Structure 1
């Protein structure tokens, strides 16, 4: 098991730590170049979930795609991405994380090029599905490699950079997408939002040998029944979360939740039985039962729901009501991204002083920022002072940076190095699902309230609700273990 170093646990609830194995080999370490290589793949895969949004109108005009097809260009990527994360992590444990990361990068390069060359809307949808699957292959290897190759403060710094990359790339995707479409480089138009991936990923591929090769000491077996049950549960849930608003919430869509619940219960029983027999379940009940992972995920889900909802509702408000275009509204998020990035770099030092209270502090800062944004919008609608909006966005970014990277460390703290891929897959899947759910619920709620109330009142109510999610994170943070 990888040794965990950090601040001594504070009095109160704690998790049981397994003693370090004196015979275990030391972590190989992660150089700055290697960390840059793995974070590059993660940043691009995260950006591609957002970068296409501002190009949809141009894509529809060029490829004659209707609203349903354009929705699939966006949601198809998210569907296959979220669906394949756990399996991608498990494959990395079995066959080597660097090998799977390289394969994922190569597939991401190819599928990005296919997206950029798409002659029809149907071809583009298929390429986006494949691109999401490629991202699912490479993304779990990033955290898994950090978990297996580092320890102590080196791990804390690497995970902080991972968290900073997450926030920065999400915002950068919207800004870069608008910029590329506006510049129309070499007459490529919307195709440049996909083509730009190719040279960057190829450069990462050339340097991938700098990444240490890690994998489980014993090759885990395959779990076909668990994989099928997990896939059924995830597909049903993802269709409801990602497509519900576009489909108008028909009755048959809700029946998929019943199917997902039945498949999830069956999956839990199958995995427990397989582990008792000494097999290799896709989702190990023992690993998932660790206090750090269980409580950390309990806080990560409402945190990610709030993030997804805020980003989506902000885009609706800024573009439609602040009078900003796609590029301008994305650029206004720069203070949020910058504050998130800078604050995330200092979370290891802050956590060394505050311990688990860093999450409590982040929840207070984030909730206060959301309430301030609600007040600004309510008091000065429809043209709030731009400088005040920028300042509040930066404040919210600081709060989120104190929470996100710290929760990543807590969730993975007790995961053995041999199962780092599985643990990373579970973490990123939970994060992606909750973010998508937040965008769906927040967007639906805002649009519904705006139809019956004023738009200002709808925005204020949604932001107040998101502050309640921050309160939930605060309550859960009181029972979290100290960051390891």
Structure 2
């Protein structure tokens, strides 16, 4: 019989930590791919052509299937084995990355990005279960605690790496290098996959394929007219598509309710909606991550279309945001949340709002054809706000959840975060492109588009604050350590996740 190489709790120390490194590499690969795209998308559009809305589709095509398939991907791991599904997902991600690099048209790239997102939805839900199968006690706590720093590093490096790879144009690869970098990473993960221990749920849930199909269709119908509004905004067809999306989501809700009453495995755990707190958390998640993801895209678009900043400098411009977010997340988790609890959320939102208003002032006073040098400081304030909000947000959201609902709650928060990022790219990106398209495309119109998008983001931040008020409760929140470890993951452009 072949020798068992899996890293069970009793396996040698180095084997278990090598297996953990493979899991973290897979998560980092997913986040890197998302943040890299933020910087590379305008360059891809210039090369492949097509309407300006394709810039948003390059991101949305990934995050939309990723968001709506996360729960189904997790259940596939419960049923078929987490190690098996993880390997299939990584292999699919690598192949889709190769197709992205070989794309010769926007349609081909958008299709390959959708396959990437679906593959990521198979990979990401398995990591926590696989870690728990390999570690126990203090080692489990250390292993779980390693997720946040790795994801923070990936978020910091993503925009810079995207700019450097695209600008370097190695062997004439240009933007294609941002996808080719996934090949050695993914193949390395697959090579280490035998070290993982197979694990599955003792109680295997059933798949809700009808619910999954309704969720995919409904969210797609809602997002499509938002992205395409620059070409078809206000048309009867656009309004009809939005109405159809809302109708499908209503049918989805009714289906979930009916399936729960019949004792079936619904995608959404009905008990999570027993009070206003968790629905408010989902709303806050969608609104907040719409802001941070959408604004990052807007910043890059303004720099590329206005003063025609090179892609490397555009990536470096986002570095203060990422670094400030990582620092603020650590400070919030280690110092502020244990002392002040959910009140830190509102300090984070106030800081984020201040950064957005400062960016508006920068765009209002900067020369149209020059790099806006005060902008990185404003973006650093945005990053501080993001980090201060994320840790208490996840702590408060999960603190309302009963132990047997934690997995479902984490999956829904994951999906809401990714859906919010998709909507943010669609909404704020469309606002920018619409305002920037008034008159000839110049640095002046790009500045106008950026100001309009940031004002819209300010409104979304205020709405997030209202939703956060309904999240709070007098009782102390539960499991701050768990929430702190996962919420340190940044919600950069479509990549930060809570598993």
Q: Please give the range of the TM-score, normalised by the shorter of the 2 chains.
A: 0.7 to 0.9
Give 2:189's aligned residue.
Answer: 204
1:51 alignment partner, SS class: helix
Give 2:460's aligned residue.
Answer: 469
- Match among 430, 448, 468 for residue 444 of structure 1: 430
* Structural mapping, 1:132-211, within 5 Å: 132-142=117-127, 169=154, 172-208=157-193
2:34 alignment partner, SS class: coil
Q: Which consecutive residues of structure 2, in runs of 5 or more, have no partner in the other structure?
A: 1-8, 10-15, 480-499
Does 2:250 correspond to 1:265?
Answer: yes
- Match among 271, 278, 293 for residue 308 of structure 1: 293
The more displaced of 415-424 and 256-265 is 415-424
Q: Residues 138 and 241 of structure 1: is their aligned pair in 2 closer, same or farther, counting only changes over 3 Å?
A: farther
1:282 alignment partner, SS class: coil
Give 1:426's aligned residue.
Answer: 412
> By how many angstroms is 1:200 displaced?
1.0
Give 1:18's aligned residue.
Answer: none
- Match among 182, 191, 210 for residue 225 of structure 1: 210
> By how many angstroms is 1:249 displaced?
5.5
The more displaced of 228-237 and 158-167 is 158-167
> By how many angstroms is 1:83 displaced?
3.6
Q: Number of aligned pairs?
A: 457
Q: Residues 109 and 380 of structure 1: is their aligned pair in 2 closer, same or farther, counting only changes over 3 Å?
A: closer
Normalization by structure 1: what TM-score?
0.79
Give 2:472's aligned residue.
Answer: 480
Provide the rounded CA distance (Å) in 2 between the counterparts of 1:120 and 1:442: 25
- Asked whether the equivalents of residues 157 and 345 of structure 1 are also in contact (C-alpha less than 8 Å), the reply is no
Give 1:89's aligned residue.
Answer: 74
- Match among 381, 399, 406 for residue 395 of structure 1: 381
Give 2:323's aligned residue.
Answer: 338
Does 2:308 correspond to 1:317?
Answer: no
Q: Residues 383 and 122 of structure 1: is their aligned pair in 2 closer, same or farther, counting only changes over 3 Å?
A: closer
1:49 alignment partner, SS class: helix
Give 2:494's aligned residue.
Answer: none
Provide the rounded CA distance (Å) in 1 between the counterparts of 2:433 and 2:53: 22
- Asked whether the equivalents of residues 293 and 425 of structure 2 are also in contact (C-alpha less than 8 Å), the reply is yes
Q: Residues 165 and 302 of structure 1: is their aligned pair in 2 closer, same or farther, counting only changes over 3 Å?
A: farther
Does 2:358 correspond to 1:372?
Answer: yes
Q: Residues 141 and 238 of structure 1: is their aligned pair in 2 closer, same or farther, counting only changes over 3 Å?
A: farther
Q: Residues 398 and 284 of structure 1: is their aligned pair in 2 closer, same or farther, counting only changes over 3 Å?
A: same
Q: Residues 334 and 289 of structure 1: is their aligned pair in 2 closer, same or farther, counting only changes over 3 Å?
A: same
Q: Residues 386 and 242 of structure 1: is their aligned pair in 2 closer, same or farther, counting only changes over 3 Å?
A: closer
- Asked whether the equivalents of residues 358 and 403 of structure 1 are also in contact (C-alpha less than 8 Å), the reply is yes
Give 1:353's aligned residue.
Answer: 339
- Asked whether the equivalents of residues 366 and 372 of structure 2 are also in contact (C-alpha less than 8 Å), the reply is no
> What is the Cα-based RMSD across aligned positions, in Å?
4.0
